[in-house]
Amino acid sequence: MYDWNLVVHAVATLLVTLDPPGLAPIFLGLTVGMNRSERTQVALRGSIIAFAILATFALFGAGVLGLLGISIAAFRIAGGLLLFFIAFEMVFERRQERKEKTSEVAITKDHIRNIAVFPLALPLIAGPGAISATILLAGSMSSPIGRTALIAVIALSVAAVFVTLYIAERIDRYLGVTGRAILTRLLGVILAALAVQFVVDGTRAAFVI
């Protein structure tokens, strides 16, 4: 019987890493001047591209690591440390500032029609943290059922991001600056705990004889 606790863990890890509420105000800034239909198209295209990126890493990321001679245990430790750094940024409100700077650079360098690809899909949705988390989860869910479940989890998580972007104006208005700060810090603490667990599991696996 499959351990569905892994699925629950995967959902929590990806949703916290993707941080849909944190993307809402950035998305509004990226799509300023667009009407509702154009914003929906950008959100949909960006979400589909992000799903394709994360699904590719879920299916082939472990194989690439094998070719490079990197064990899953080592990647768990490295990925856990990276996720912990992202959690640190979330708790101390630095991740939002970095994302906002990324979006500002994109607006000046690329025309708004390319926003769905860069920076929305990559790196704001399917960023280093989400990619690392996906490969880590793929290592834990390596069976055919596990991989299928992981792809479903990625689809569910990205769908949550799309819905959040679709109603971004209402979410931003409802949460406000204080609500976003509280929610981001809370998610950051949860992600920090998940990151430490990845490091612990990776260390245990690396030193098992």
User: Is the pLDDT reported for residue 44 higher than 80?
Assistant: yes
Q: Write down the pLDDT at residue 2.
A: 63
Using left for φ > 0, alpha for ψ between -120 and 50, and beta otherwise, residue 6 falls in alpha
Q: What is the chain's mean pLDDT, rounded?
A: 83
Q: Which residue has the higher pLDDT, 118 or 209?
A: 118
pLDDT > 70 fraction of the chain, expressed in percent and rounded: 89
Digit-coded pLDDT (tens) for 78-117: 888 887 887 887 788 765 565 556 555 555 444 455 788 8
In this structure, is residue 42 part of a structural domain? yes
- pTM, two decimals, is 0.77
How many domains is the chain partitioned into structurally?
1
Closest Cα to residue 58, out of 89, 13, 110?
13
In this structure, is residue 15 part of a structural domain? no
Residue 62, domain extent? 36-206
In this structure, is residue 6 part of a structural domain? no
In this structure, is residue 3 part of a structural domain? no
Quick check: 195 and 87 in contact, CB under 8 A?
A: yes
User: Is the pLDDT reported for residue 16 higher than 60?
Assistant: yes
Q: Write down the pLDDT at residue 60.
A: 92
Coil/strand/helix, residue 124: helix
Helices (H), the chain: 5-18, 20-30, 36-67, 72-91, 95-109, 128-140, 144-166, 168-206
